[in-house]
Structure 1
Amino acid sequence: MNLKQIEYALAVAETGSFTLAAQRCHVVQSALSHQIARLEETLGARLFERSSRRVSLTPAGEAFVVSGQAALEAARRIGDDVAAACGEVRGRLSIGEISSLTELDLVDLLAGFHHEYPQVDIRWLINKSEVLMADVRERRLDVAFIGVWPGEPVEGVTSRLLAREELVALLPAGHPLACQSRLCLADLEDQPLVDFPAGTGARRQTDEAFTAAGVRHRVQFEVGSVMLVEKFVQRGLALGLVAAPIARGFKGVVALPVSDAPVRHVYAIWSNSPSPAAKAFLHVLERCLDARANTY
């Protein structure tokens, strides 16, 4: 078994096609198929079920993907680890964040990191918390910034709590409830709401909060971005629930505290065995957090 064979097999697993895998690996398909056949012979197990239309993983193939990804990642990190031991930080840094992150200006943080470590190739994306957690656990991301709810486990990663954020209700300026000083979830019963899609972590927790309060709620609009929550409320189409720091940046809406609304915890999470680039970024993050704490 060699690293090329592992790389070829993982490419087939990810693309679901020997043809696409060969194109990704810049090798002719016959050579890729031959190397995978040799790999299967070495392992004594078939990794793929092949048909005229599709390629799928066998149970042995699913087990191989987990170990193969870890082995390939470890091999790729050898040069970076050696360079770091000699005082040079390089390699790749993959960062993910939720769209509603308010605790940090991540772009400014990455700019400072890039100035200090110019040889690190930075990748950045936005996604949902549950996706980001899975990506960090499976080492597709080095570091992520997520928002979860009290009692929701953050497992398989190293984490640091950054903030505890209360949710507030967003209302159009002319709404009858906008003159109140505080609301409860019962006040929102049967009001049209804008929220994240059903099944997401953010939506699940608001659903559970209404259920625990014994209050019916009607989500009329499902959106994928917190900025769209602002627009729907501004136009008088719905009411929303967002973290208080997010609401402070919205215009043309009224934000009111909700006595029994859920609370969001914002975490930084990273792999239990961070790369040299990730360790350097976490050091920059710690400096930033310490500097901010000293200004309060």
Structure 2
Amino acid sequence: MELQQMRYVVAVAETNSFTRAAELCLVVQSALSQQIARLERELGARLFERTSRRVRLTPAGAAFLATARQCLQAADRAVAEVAAAVGEVRGRLAVGLISTVAAVDIPGALREFHQVHPSVRISLRGTASEELVEQVREGTIDVAFLGLPTTARPEGVHARELAHDRHVAVVAPDHPLAGERAVGLRRLAAETFVDLPAGTAGRMQTDQAFAAAGLDRDVAFEVTNADLLARMVREGLGAAMLPSAYVPQLTGVVTIEVTDAPARVEYVIWSRSGPTPAAAAFLALLGIPAS
């Protein structure tokens, strides 16, 4: 069994196509197919179901994929550790974040990191907090920035608190509440809301606050990121609640203090097995001890 065979399996699994996987791996399709067939013979099990219309993992393939990814990550880390031992930071830095991160200027930090460590390949992925925790546990992301209700904490990862924040209400400039200095949840419960999808950590904070107050609210619009949420609010389609430290980035909306607002904690997280050399260098740049 060879690392290259594992790379081929991962590429086919991620693209659901032998043709696209071969293009991604810069190899002819016949060579990729032969190597996967050879690996299947060695393992004594088929890894993929192939039809004229689609390619998908078999149960054996799904079991193999998780370990293959871990092996490839370990191999990449071994190369990076050797480079770090001789004073060079190499490898990859996969960063994840939620769209409302306010405690750290992520683009600015990545720009500075790239200037200092140009040999590191940087990638950035935005998704929900709970997905970021899972991806850090799996090793597909090295460092992630997320927000959780004060009642929750990231599990199965190293985590450091970055900031505590309270939510504020956000409405269009011509909204009836736009002239108010402060408002309570009971008054806001009468509004139509724009919010993140139900079940996400970003939504949970507000849902918990209304539930604790014994209030129901109408979330008519569910969106996946804060920028689209703000655009919906600007168009007068509903009110929203967002972290106060994030709202100054928005334009064309009015912010109102919420007297009984929900709170959140921003975290930076990384693997329990310790940061890769690139991740450790990134955390050090931010002044965050990784020990």
- 2:135 aligned partner: 135
- 1:280 aligned partner: 281
- Pairs within 5 Å for 1:41-190: 41-190=41-190
**Deviation of 1:221 (Å):** 2.8
**Deviation of 1:252 (Å):** 5.0
Distance in structure 2 (CA, Å) of the matches to 1:142 and 1:283: 14
- 1:10 aligned partner: 10
**Deviation of 1:268 (Å):** 0.7
Q: CA deviation digits over 1:131-160, x for unaligned, max 9? A: 332332222221111111123341232111
- Give the secondary structure class of the aligned counterpart of 2:118: coil
Matched-pair contact (CA < 8 Å) for 2:205–2:263: no
- Pairs within 5 Å for 1:171-210: 171-210=171-210
Q: Scaled by the length of structure 2, what TM-score is found? A: 0.88
Matched-pair contact (CA < 8 Å) for 2:163–2:267: yes
Q: Scaled by the length of structure 1, what TM-score is found? A: 0.86
Q: CA deviation digits over 1:2-29, x for unaligned, max 9? A: 1121111222211222232223223333
Q: CA deviation digits over 1:43-64, x for unaligned, max 9? A: 2322222333222222221111
- 1:294 aligned partner: none
Distance in structure 1 (CA, Å) of the matches to 2:201 and 2:67: 28
Distance in structure 2 (CA, Å) of the matches to 1:70 and 1:24: 20
- Give the secondary structure class of the aligned counterpart of 1:37: helix
- Give the secondary structure class of the aligned counterpart of 1:151: coil
Distance in structure 2 (CA, Å) of the matches to 1:188 and 1:139: 41
Distance in structure 2 (CA, Å) of the matches to 1:113 and 1:157: 23
- Give the secondary structure class of the aligned counterpart of 1:245: coil
Distance in structure 1 (CA, Å) of the matches to 2:251 and 2:21: 48
Matched length: 288
**Deviation of 1:224 (Å):** 3.0
Bigger helix share: 1
**Deviation of 1:86 (Å):** 0.9
Q: CA deviation digits over 1:259-281, x for unaligned, max 9? A: 43321111111123321111111
Q: Which amino acid aligns with 1:274?
A: P
